[in-house]
Amino acid sequence: MSTFIETHSLGHTYRFGDGERIVALRDVDLRIARGEFVALIGANGSGKSTLARHLNALLIPTCGEVLVDNLATTDPGNLWEIRRRVGMVFQNPDNQLVASTIEEDVAFGPENWALPRDQIRARVDEALTAVGLWDQRTRPPQMLSGGQKQLVAIAGALATRPDCIVLDEPTSMLDPLGRRRVLETIRQLNRESGLTIVLVTQSMEEAAAADRVIALHRGRIVLEGPPKAVFAREPRLEDIGLGVPASMEMTALLRERGVPLETTPLNLGELAAALKVLGPVTSVL
């Protein structure tokens, strides 16, 4: 798989009017391949949101560099092209919808690109169908659930036909049903359309669904790898203010009580399967 986004010694320092400085990112080296599903985890203040905003040039590095499809984010000439290729979905479902109907909101991106009307129409229909909201296209935002609003935001990002979508804690403010729908949609887009996904999340269960998990602490990457490898490092994760998926907590409890579980199950299904193998073979008796 080819590299789509890479960062070299990326650093970001916020400077405030009164002279105060906050170092949000330090020396971050990252490579995200095309079609990958990456989860960024970290406690509040770890820098994960800051890192996400560098991926579509909303923020420019104060040192180091970020290349998106070989376009440097520090070059102002690349700005809009980068933002076309990398869409972004934010945490608050309401504060990213600008229009009075769903389809007009999804059209916002293509409209900014001055596409002709029939192309905008085609893109809007395409994006809304991809998230399953096409038949709701004339509804106003206030009639939607939080989960649906986030799906609209995803459709809005899809309308510019991006290569990658970055989502900054898209499910934090949603109820369980909404969370599930958003996550399912993201996984489907990744699997079926090959869309590169970068998901910033506080939920270990969501991170467990990714191809690769990157854990941040105080602006640095401290853990990186497939979910099973990262979540096996529980003491370290706890140190940096994080946890592990509930299925792994359960596994630890079972092991404590002498149940010989070898695997690191990332979800309920894997755990149940691993246990069933250990169970009594009733047919023999």
Partner 1 sequence: MMIVVDALSHIYAPDTPLARVALRSVTLSISPGERVGVAGPTGSGKSTLIQHLAGLLAPSSGRVLLDGVPASGKGQKSQSRRRQVGIAFQYPEEQVFEQTVGREVAFGPRNLGLDSGEIHERVRWALNLVGLDAPAFLDRSPFTLSGGELRRVSLAGVLALQPAVLILDEPTAGLDPRGRGSLLERIDAWQRETSSTLIVVSHDLAALAQLIDRVVLLRGAEIVADGPSRSVLGDPARLTGAGLEPPLPVALLHQLRTAGWNVATDRFRPAEAAEEIASYLRAGRRQFETRGVPQ
Partner 2 sequence: MNLLLPGMYVSTHSPVHRLDPRVKMTAALLLMVAPFAAPGFPSSVLLAAFVGLIALLSDAPWLALLRTLRTVLWLGCFLFVFYLFTTPGRVLVAWRGISLTAEGLAAGTTQIYRLCLLVVVSSLLTFTTSPAQLTHGLEALLHPLARLGLPVREAAMVLSISLRFVPTLFDQVERLIKAQRSRGAALQSGPPWRRIRSWIPVFVPIFVAAFRRADELAVAMDARGFRGVRQRTHLRRLRLGWRDLFASLIVLGIGVTAFALDRFL
Task: Give residue for tokens 């995803």.
Answer: 154
The end-to-end CA distance of the chain, in Å, is: 51
The single residue listed with the structure tokens 């003491």 is 235
For 160, list phi and psi in degrees, rounded to 5. -95, 10
Q: Say which entry of partner 1, partner 2, none residue 77 contacts (CB below 5 to 8 A, set by partner kind).
A: none
Q: Give SS3 for 140.
A: coil
94 binds partner 1 (CB under 8 A): no
Record the tokens describing residue 215, joined without a space: 């854990």
Nearest to 155 by CA among 175, 184, 125: 125
- Letters for 138-157 (x = contact with partner 1 by CB under 8 A, - = none) are -------x------------
Which of the residues 106 through 135 are near partner 2 (CB under 8 A)?
107-117, 120-121, 124
Q: How far is the CB of 235 from partner 1 (least distance, A)?
A: 15
| Residue 268 CB coordination number (10 Å) | 13
Choice from 44, 76, 114, 192 touching partner 1 (CB under 8 A): 44
Q: Which span sits near partner 2 by CB under 8 A: 33-41, 95-103, 207-215, 244-252?
A: 95-103
The one segment of 18-26, 101-109, 231-239, 270-278 that binds partner 2 by CB under 8 A: 101-109
The reply on whether position 262 binds partner 1 by CB under 8 A is: no
Q: Which two tokens stand for residue 63?
A: 């040192």
- Could you give the string, one character per residue 72-91, with x where binding to partner 2 holds by CB under 8 A and - elsewhere? --------x--xx--xx-x-
63 lines the binding site for partner 1 (CB under 8 A): no
Task: Please tell me the distance from the alpha carbon of residue 213 to that of residue 209, in angstroms, as a whole number.
Answer: 9
For the record, the structure tokens of 134 come out as 């096409």
Q: Residue 226 or 241: which CB sits closer to partner 1?
A: 241
Q: Does 114 bind partner 1 (CB under 8 A)?
A: no
Chain centroid to CA 120: how far?
26
Cβ neighbours around 6 below 10 Å, total: 17
- Based on the shown chain and the rule CB under 8 A, indicate whether residue 45 belongs to the binding site for partner 2: no
Give the nearest distance from C-beta 55 to partner 2 in angstroms.
10
* C-beta separation of 188 from 220 below 8 A: no
Q: Which residues of 201-236 are buried (b: 16+ CB within 10 A; e: fewer)?
A: bbbbbbbbbbebbbbbbebebbbeeebeebbebbee
- Touching partner 2, residues 53-72 (CB under 8 A): 56, 58
- Chain residues that interact with partner 1, rule: CB under 8 A: 43-45, 145, 172-173, 175-178, 202, 204, 241-243, 246-247, 249-250, 253-254, 256-259, 268, 271-272, 275-276, 278-280, 282, 284-285
- Chain residues that interact with partner 2, rule: CB under 8 A: 56, 58, 80, 83-84, 87-88, 90, 92, 94-101, 103-104, 107-117, 120-121, 124, 140-142, 156-157, 160
